[in-house]
């Protein structure tokens, strides 16, 4: 077992989340994950609302998302860095909605 996995190593993404809570309280509710495997990364996921995904992507000024899918599930993902903290934003949605979302976003970028 790796004994270097401590809460302290997860501090940067936790502090970023606290900062986002204070400075952007109007963003849609999301799920958050800070893993002991990747303790420096804040993962944010939104389910069943690509509008909520857009609000987060725009507020964090992240780039163009990539569409992904597997076994009938579809999602958008975009990575970025906010205040030196790696951030992974994921938005889950219906396959048709994900495909429609990526086409115009990719053209605008």
> What CATH number does the domain containing 53 carry?
3.30.460
pLDDT, averaged across the chain = 90
**3-state class (DSSP) for residue 24:** coil
Please, where are the H alpha helices in 4-88? 11-23, 50-59
Note whether residue 76 is domain-resident.
yes
Tally of structural domains, the chain: 1
Residue 103: per-residue pLDDT? 77
Buried b (16+ CB within 10 A) or exposed e, 65-81: bebeeeeeebbbbbeee
Please state whether beta strands 85-93 and 42-47 pair in parallel, antiparallel, or not at all (unpaired). parallel
Domain that holds residue 98: 7-108
pLDDT digits (tens, 9 = 90+) for 33-81: 999 999 999 999 999 799 999 999 999 999 999 999 888 789 999 999 9
E strand residue ranges, the chain: 31-33, 42-47, 66-70, 73-82, 85-93
2: pLDDT strictly greater than 60: no
Note whether residue 2 is domain-resident.
no
Note whether residue 52 is domain-resident.
yes
Residue 1: per-residue pLDDT? 46
Note whether residue 1 is domain-resident.
no
Buried b (16+ CB within 10 A) or exposed e, 34-49: beeeebebbbbbbeeb
pTM of the model: 0.88
Note whether residue 30 is domain-resident.
yes
């Amino acid at each position: 077992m790796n004994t270097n996995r401590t809460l302290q190593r997860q501090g940067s993404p936790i502090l970023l989340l606290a900062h986002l809570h204070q400075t952007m309280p109007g963003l849609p509710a999301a799920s958050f994950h800070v893993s002991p495997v990747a303790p420096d990364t804040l993962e944010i996921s939104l389910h069943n609302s690509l509008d909520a995904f857009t609000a987060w992507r725009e507020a964090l000024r992240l780039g163009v998302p990539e569409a992904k899918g597997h076994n009938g599930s579809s999602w958008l993902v975009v990575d970025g860095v906010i205040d030196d903290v790696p951030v992974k934003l994921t938005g889950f949605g219906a396959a048709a909605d994900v495909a429609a979302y990526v086409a115009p976003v990719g053209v605008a970028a």
